Amino acid sequence: MRFLQSFVVAIVLRFVHAALIELRALDSRVVKEFERMPEGLSYAIRTGHNGPSLYVEWDGRELRRLPSLAHPACALRIKSMPLAFQLFTGQMGLSQAYARHAFTMGGEVADVMRLARLVNLVEAYLFPKIMTRRIMTDVPETEVCFLRAYARILLGFLTCKYKLSK
Amino acid sequence: MVPYFEFQNAVKLLCGELALERIAIELELMGASKPLMLSDAVLTKIGTLATVIKAMESEGVEPAATFTDIPVDSSLAVVNHIAAFYREQGCDSIVAVGGGSVIDTAKGVRLVLSQNKQDILSLSGLDNLVRGKHVPFIVVPTTAGTGSECTGVAVIRNDSNGVKMEFLSPYVEPDAAVIDPRMTVGLPPKATATTGMDALVHAIEACTCQQANPLSTSYGTAAIRMIAENVVEATRNGSNKQARFAMALASTMAGISFSNSMVGAVHAIGHALGGVCHVPHAVAMTILLPHVMRYNLSHCAQGYAELLPLLVGMEAAMATPAEKRAEAAIEAVVALGRKLHDICGIPLTLSDAGVVRDTFAHVAEVAVNDGALIVNPRAADESQVIEILNAAY
Ligand SMILES: [Fe+2]
């Protein structure tokens, strides 16, 4: 069970990274978030005990995925694999995860708030409303059809712009 | 109800008459004898700090050192400076006497010392620290509002960018808090009213945010009732020790409540107003509360309706039609603010508090990055924060 959850979480983490990049081309709020993001801001998202992780850094032009980060500005650790599975499969929103003490964080709370807004937008595009209504108090309206977001992300994986490997 | 919650309050409360005289034995029981006293210039001047020191000395504990240069809006640099001073002076414990700024500074100092660091900046975060070394730590609140004596968070300004940083860890909680009515009898009416309203905001937000749980709500609801019954009397008649003690206890209970739940948009916007426009925290809370409640109403009607009996009494609440109770709770908060304004002239609008509209965009940008917004019952973006600010103007 844990292996399966871990496998799904690893895939979704790669997907989230791709979605953040592709939504910059589609949604004005995502554009604005990146415009305001401090250059050099980095996030480490780790899950459970030795679970999959995502390391990204904003270099002022793009959000680069890295194999690891020694000193992330914002280091999130989801406390267990079942919690990570809930969080990354649309069963629990980020604010709900906060309310349920689902993660620890080293760094500034403001950077978690930036991430929370971005993740909410990603989820608004990637998950159906019937799911997002249950995990957010207010679901952001999508500015373009969600299919365009899916198409761009899948194309990105097919053309090896994004990789499923480490 | 939330499907999962956590609750922690490890602070020993010393409440009531002659509580100050028990600080010495508490230190002794923790193996400490050389406390560093922390306070501010005003409390030193009016003799509040001397009262505490005298009570300690009468029971055989003399401060090893005293630091009273803590500003109203303390900062990371102040924390680091005091931690170095503690080490220089060979102290073995901390006794903090003051309001929110002194207590939060002391929490920061304790964190730096227990984690054996030089700079507190590296410790910011949420539940990210290991326990560290035990540094005996007692606080004596001198306002009835912040509840900081019982919260697992220290909020301290970052000097480099002016942003308030949050250090959320159970290890910032003091070992003991001393709730002695002597500490608040001298508090002026305006400060009594606004800090009382700050405590009310803590309790209301804690009871209605997404993180509310049965234990935090039990403390929060008890606090709301006590504040509604005592804040007017404590403001009007500051020498009423019963009312003072009730407010001090209510503030502590509200602190326990929100430390185990969370605050919300009133605090997020209030922190931003403090950072950008220098509006004192308790004043911002007093002004914003009804406006944020109106904003949240669509998402929180049942939660607010349940507060009505606590604010106006059971009889008046039952006489209000069920569907009108949430709005009546907001009106009760408005009426309480007006009553306090009539007694001592506290500001009830942002314009009265000297805020100018030109700052709203900046305030909103800062507010949406404040952690207090994350579990507010209703999400808020910058334009919605500006709407709230306009309503409060
Ligand atoms: Fe507050």
CA distances for B3 relative to A97, A100, A132, B33, B125, angstroms = 11, 8, 17, 45, 24
Burial B113-129 (b: 16+ CB within 10 A, else e): bbbeeeebbebbbbbbb
Contact check, Cβ <8 Å, B127/A104: yes
For the four alpha carbons of B359, B365, B366 and B368, in that order, the dihedral sign comes to positive
Contact check, Cβ <8 Å, B371/A100: no
DSSP label at A100? T
Q: What is the ipTM of this complex?
A: 0.94
Q: Is B352 helix (H, G, I), strand (E, B) or coil?
A: coil
**Phi, psi (rounded to 5 degrees) for A79:** -70, -25
Contact check, Cβ <8 Å, A109/B262: no
Q: From the options 3.40.50.300, 3.40.50.620, 3.40.50.1820, 3.30.1050.10, give the CATH code of A2-158.
A: 3.30.1050.10
Residues on chain B touching A99 (C-beta within 8 angstroms) = 2, 209-211, 262, 375
Rounded to a whole number, what is the distance in Å from the CA of A114 to chain B's nearest CA? 7
- Considering only the beta carbons, identify the residue of A99, A110, A112 that sits closest to B2: A99
Q: What is the pLDDT of residue A166?
A: 67
Q: What are chain B's domains?
A: 12-183 (3.40.50.1970), 189-392 (1.20.1090.10)
Rounded to a whole number, what is the distance in Å from the CA of B138 to chain A's nearest CA? 26
String of DSSP letters for B128-176: ---------EEEEE-SSS--GGG-SEEEEE-TTT-PEEEEE-GGGS-SE
Question: Which of A124, A114, A160, A116 has the alpha carbon at shortest distance from A145?
Answer: A124
Tokens representing B352 are 């009265």
Size of interface A-B (CB pairs under 8 A): 78
Contact check, Cβ <8 Å, A114/B125: no
Q: What is the pLDDT of residues B79-135, one digit of tens each?
A: 999 999 999 999 999 999 999 999 999 999 999 999 999 999 999 999 999 999 999
Contact check, Cβ <8 Å, A117/B368: yes
Q: Is A71 at the interface with chain B, CB within 8 A?
A: no
Q: What share of chain A is helix, strand, coil (3-state, %, to 5)?
A: 50, 15, 35
String of DSSP letters for A42-81: EEEEEETTT--EEEEEE-SS-EEEES--SS-SEEEEES-H
Residues on chain B touching A75 (C-beta within 8 angstroms) = 125, 128
DSSP label at B269? H
Tokens representing B170 are 């159970």
pLDDT in tens, chain B (393 residues): 789 999 999 999 999 999 999 999 999 999 999 999 999 999 999 999 999 999 999 999 999 999 999 998 889 999 999 999 999 999 999 999 999 999 999 999 999 999 999 999 999 999 999 999 999 999 999 999 999 999 999 999 888 887 888 899 999 999 999 999 899 988 999 999 999 999 999 999 999 999 999 999 999 999 999 999 999 999 999 999 999 999 999 999 999 999 999 999 999 999 999 989 999 999 999 999 999 999 999 999 999 999 999 999 999 999 999 999 999 999 999 999 999 999 999 999 999 999 999 999 999 999 999 999 999 999 999 999 999 999 999
